[in-house]
Amino acid sequence: MSAAAYSRFLWEAGIVQVREAPPWFVWASGRESPLYVDHRRLLAYPRWRQWAVGQLARRITQGPAPQAVVGVATAGIAWAAWLAERLDLPAGYVRAEPKKHGLRHQVEGLVQPLGPVLLVEDLISTGGSLRKAAQALEEAGFPVGAVAALWSYELPDAEGLPYPRYVLLTFPQALLYWQEAGFLSEAAAAFLRRWHHSGLLA
Q: Specify the number of domains making up the chain.
A: 1
Total residue count of the chain as it appears in this document: 202
Q: Note the pLDDT tens digit of each residue in 53-110.
A: 999 999 999 999 999 999 999 999 999 999 999 999 999 999 988 766 765 677 899 9
User: In which domain, by residue range, is 111 found?
Assistant: 3-198
Instruction: Output the tens digit of pLDDT for each of the chain's 202 residues.
Output: 899 999 999 999 999 999 999 999 999 888 999 999 999 999 999 999 999 999 999 999 999 999 999 999 999 999 999 999 999 999 999 998 876 676 567 789 998 878 899 999 999 999 999 999 999 999 999 999 999 999 999 998 888 889 999 999 999 999 999 999 999 999 999 999 999 998 888 6
Q: Please count the other Cβ atoms lying within 10 Å of the Cβ belonging to residue 64.
A: 11
For residue 102, give the CATH number of its domain: 3.40.50.2020
Q: Which residues 6+ apart lie within 8 Å of 147 measured at CB?
A: 118, 119, 120, 121, 124, 130, 134, 161, 163, 164, 165, 166
Q: Which residues 6+ apart lie within 8 Å of 190 measured at CB?
A: none
pLDDT for res 102: 62
Q: Which residues 6+ apart lie within 8 Å of 104 measured at CB?
A: 98
Kind and range of the H or E element at 150?
strand 144-152
